[in-house]
Amino acid sequence: MLLRFRSCRKCLGDLMLDGDDWRCWQCGRYYYPTPPITEPLPMPEQHEQPNVKAAITPKRRRSTRSVNSFISSTSRSEFRWWHKNQDVITFLDEGRTVKDIARLINRGQRQIRIIRERLNDLRDCGVELQPTR
């Protein structure tokens, strides 16, 4: 009996050889062997064209502006979120309950809880955004 440990692509289980097929012990998925390629595939014929362009075109490189665009868009997004929810954040910092805050600013309690969770996540990461505008 042949085994392949942690080779199942679905559950990372163990495969065993079951006749001509491999079968996973944990999830039961079958892997059928592919027939070996004995001859290379024929290459399509290419017509020779005169070499008009002898110079090699240079590689295109990304500008540093596009590399940093994701970072700047993330910081802008966090700033907008912080600015939009500043009133909820101040009430949460005061220690008010979710029910009181929802009543004060006419939002649902679930929205307040979501803001509280994201605020806790941001503060755990060490990000403390204060709007400076």
User: One digit per residue, pLDDT tens: the chain, 133 residues?
Assistant: 788 888 888 888 898 887 888 889 889 888 877 766 666 667 777 666 655 555 566 676 665 555 566 666 677 777 888 888 999 999 999 999 999 999 999 989 999 999 999 888 888 877 665 544 4
Distances 115 to 31, 92, 105, 124 between C-alpha atoms, Å: 47, 10, 13, 14
Distances 31 to 2, 3, 12, 28, 36 between C-alpha atoms, Å: 14, 13, 13, 10, 15
Q: Which of 121, 91, 119, 120 is nearest to 107 (CA)?
A: 91
State residue 128's pLDDT score: 61
Q: What are phi and psi of 23, to 5 degrees?
A: -130, 140
